Amino acid sequence: MTKIKNTTNIDSYNDLYSTMEHDHEYPNINLVRLEKWHLKSPGFVLDHGCGYGENLIFLTKKGYKVHGVEINKELIKWIDLKCRIKQVPSNQYSLELAASDNKIAQDDETFDHVISLGVLEMLGDKAAATLYINELTRVLKPGGKMIISTLHPENSFVVQSKKIAEEKFSFSGKEMDKEVQLQYELYIPKDANSFSKIFPKSCKVDEIGSWNNVYCNVNGKHYCALITKK
Amino acid sequence: MGKLTDDLTVNAYKMAYSQGYDHSYPNENIVRLEASYLRDSKGVCLDYGYGFGENLIHLAKNGYSMHGIDIDETLIDKVNHKISSRNITLDFTPELTTMDGSTFRLPYKDNSFDCLLSNQTVYLLADEGKIQLLLEEFYRILKPGAKMLITMMGEQNYNCFEGEYLGNNVYEYDDKSVMNKVKGDFTHRYYILHSEPHINWLFKNFNIDEVGSWDNIYRGVSGHHYVIMCHKPK
């Protein structure tokens, strides 16, 4: 059965999160722009795969109420600590450890907006990615906005991976400045058109955009899908 | 001899700053490039065109002795206020200077800096001769071996598609895109780098370590910039 949690990838992330040495200090600059240019109106946001929590904290400062989901218990504690240090009001955020293997815990149409940055590739294959997108769409209200970013085929992470099937790659090694040995299975859409097709009919794909940074031996290219639920 | 400012653009930016034009975070590319490129020449650093001060504060927090220069006096209070209101303690209090509108020399002594950052600023001096003069000034004030990190718009930036081409790689544009919320006439000029050979020619007095780039393409905007990593010969 297709699952939205990929055990191999989660083991690698648990290793990565065994210390918080790779913590981020600032939100993703593209999210900072897309909050103004795509989300536009504060409401209840699901940040699925909220990482080190900086995007979540940024959105609370902009007046959103944010529910963050992550796969590692220590990371959840860490984000909670950061939120308290940065004086995010406790009624403006909540955190949840991703539990279910194939469902997002919330009811249908719970959120005004959904963001998922750098998670989709980690679903490991197209079937799981599709299931995941369906779940994110399910919990989004009609008219709600969604931002999904995922690795572009030109990203150095993909270039260093081995293609094992159509739109499926395997990565084994170390990532950039990190010392942890990682093992990932990756879903990588072959182009923007293929990426746009994993969204269900209830989604209007406003745009498949991208961002990129190419320097110091890294190519950080990502696709970003900007979606409005019909 | 040309002065190191462009009156039209200086006035456009002064107006933007007076309307509260600001950023809350450093540019994430500068955050990465500080860690990957500048860090081993950490020391006395000039942020040429420090603007909102976020990059300058980020470097100051990471142990650089920051000097900043820009064109609007009000920026000094703004940056100092950011530092004090965030309770940031620094070993070296940033020294911020406002450029005289008629100067053709930077107010720093020869061989003063261990490194220099200029993010999204040099192209606003929309004149090739003036940019060459500015790069000569950068050369003069850097110590031998000092690193320089310069970012400038490239030919795939939306400003090139939307702006009016004035010739000699200079464009003029009253930006009304999503990127810009400035009310009123924000007509300004900029100089575009169109290729790596162009960059190699312009920065010929420096040793170029790498020419990188970044881009963001969504919502009708493309933010293509070149990243020039170079150093003054030893």
- The residue among B122, B143, B138 whose CA lies nearest residue B226 is B122
SS (H, E, C) chain B: CCCCCCHHHHHHHHHHHHCCCCCCCCCHHHHHHHHHHHHHHCCEEEEECCCCCHHHHHHHHCCCEEEEEECCCHHHHHHHHHHHHCCCCCCCCCEEEECCCCCCCCCCCCCCEEEEEEECCHHHCCCHHHHHHHHHHHHHHEEEEEEEEEEEEECCCHHHHHCEEEECCEEEEECCCCCCCCCCCCEEEEECECCHHHHHHHCCCCEEEEEEEEEEEECCEECCEEEEEEECCC
Whether the CB of A216 is below 8 Å from some CB of chain B: the reply is yes
Residue B67 sits in a domain of what CATH number?
Answer: 3.40.50.150
The CA distances from residue B171 to B119, B122, B166, in Å, are 19, 14, 5
Does B102 map to a domain? Answer: yes
Inter-chain contact A212–B214, Cβ cutoff 8 Å? yes
Q: What is the pLDDT of residues A79-97, one digit of tens each?
A: 999 999 999 999 999 999 9
Say what the pLDDT of residue B61 is.
97
Q: Cβ B33–A32 below 8 Å, yes or no?
A: no
A21 touches B: beta carbon within 8 Å: no
- How many distinct structural domains can be found in chain B? 1
Facing A29 at nearest CB: one of B28, B218, B227: B28
Determine the structural domain holding residue B187 and report its residue range: 7-231
- Dihedral of CA atoms B28, A52, B52, B210 in degrees, nearest 10, equals -20
Does some domain include residue B63?
yes
* Residues B218, A207 contacting (CB under 8 angstroms): yes
**Which residues pair with residue A171 across a beta bridge?**
A184
Instruction: Select the residue of A29, A207, A214 nearest B218 (Cβ to Cβ).
Output: A207
Which residues in chain B have their CB less than 8 angstroms from residue A209's CB?
216-219
Q: How many Å separate Cα A207 from the centre of its chain?
A: 17
Is A26 near chain B, with CB under 8 Å? yes
| A180: DSSP letter | S
- Please, what is the average pLDDT of chain B? 94
What are the angstrom distances between the C-alpha of B63 and each of B45, B70, B136?
10, 21, 27
Rounded distance, CA B3 to CA B9, Å? 13
Helix (H, G, I), strand (E, B) or coil at A202: coil
**Which region among A111-120, A150-159, A170-179, B143-152 has the lowest average model confidence (pLDDT)?**
A170-179
In 3D space, the residue among A161, A136, A160, A139 whose CA is nearest the CA of residue A149 turns out to be A136
State the best of A213, A221, A228 to mutate against chain B, taking most chain B CBs within 10 Å: A213
CB atoms A210 and B218 under 8 Å: yes
Whether residue B35 is predicted with pLDDT greater than 70 in this model: the reply is: yes
- Please report whether residue B1 resides in a domain: no
Q: Higher confidence at residue B108 or residue A8?
A: B108
pLDDT at B179: 67
User: Which range among A97-106, A186-195, A212-221, B217-226 shows the weakest confidence by mean pLDDT?
Assistant: A97-106
> Of A24, A16, A33, A34, which is closest to residue A57 (Cα–Cα)?
A24
pLDDT for position A11: 82
The pLDDT score that the predictor gives to residue A180 is 76
Write the ipTM. Answer: 0.92
With respect to residue B23, please indicate whether it lies within any of the assigned structural domains: yes
Could you report the per-residue pLDDT of B173-217, keeping only the tens digit for each?
A: 988 776 677 888 889 999 999 999 999 999 999 999 999 999 999
The confidence score (pLDDT) of residue B183 equals 86
Beta carbons of B173 and B162 less than 8 angstroms apart = yes
Question: Among all chains, which residue has been given the structure tokens 């993010």?
Answer: B119
Asked whether residue B193 is domain-assigned, the answer is: yes
Q: How many CA atoms lie within 13 A of A131 on its CB side?
A: 18
In whole angstroms, give the CA distance from residue B142 to residue B138: 6
Per-residue pLDDT at B28: 95
- Half-sphere exposure (CA, 13 Å, Cβ side) for A151? 27
Q: Closest approach of chain B CAs to the CA of A29, in angstroms?
A: 6
Farthest-apart Cα atoms in chain B, separation: 47
Per-residue pLDDT, B178: 65
Cβ-Cβ pairs closer than 8 A, A with B, add up to 75
Q: Which chain A residues touch B158 with a CB distance below 8 Å?
A: none
Residue of B nearest to A220 (CA): B214
- The stretch B37-47 carries a mean pLDDT of 96
The closest CB to that of A216, out of B26, B178, B212, belongs to: B212
Q: What are phi and psi of B180, to 5 degrees?
A: -130, 125
Residue B2 lies in a domain: no
- Does residue B205 belong to any structural domain of this protein? yes
Q: Over range B131-153, report the average pLDDT.
A: 97
Say if residue B1's pLDDT is above 70. Answer: no
**B69 or A21, which is more confident?**
B69
pTM of the complete model: 0.93
Residue carrying the six token digits 């949840």: A96
More confident site: B15 or A21: B15
Q: Which stretch of A26-30, A49-53, B148-152, B174-178 has the lowest confidence by average pLDDT? A: B174-178
Which residue of A25, A29, A52, A152 to mutate against B (max B Cβ within 10 Å)? A29
Mean pLDDT value of segment A106-124: 96
Strands (E), chain A: 44-48, 65-70, 93-97, 111-117, 140-151, 162-165, 168-174, 181-187, 203-215, 218-219, 222-229
Question: Hey, are the CB atoms on A211 and B215 less than 8 Å from each other?
Answer: yes
Give the residue from B52, B216, B217, B221 with the most A CB atoms within 10 Å of its CB, the best one to mutate. Answer: B216
Q: Is A30 on the interface with B (CB under 8 A)?
A: yes
Average pLDDT, stretch B95-120? 93
Q: Hey, are the CB atoms on B36 and A207 less than 8 Å from each other?
A: no
Closest in A32, A211, A215 to B25, CB measured: A32
Per CB-CB distance under 8 Å, the chain B contacts of A36 are: 178
State how far the Cα of B78 lies from the Cα of B22, in Å rounded to an integer. 10
Q: How far is CA B114 from CA A97, B3, B66, B94, in A?
A: 46, 25, 11, 15
> Are B229 and A209 inside 8 Å of each other by CB?
no
User: b/e per residue, B191-206, with b = 16+ CB within 10 A?
Assistant: bbbeeeeebeebbeeb
* CB < 8 Å to A214, chain B: 212-214
The answer to whether the CB of A32 falls within 8 A of the CB of B25 is yes
Name the residue in chain B with its Cα closest to that of A55.
B25
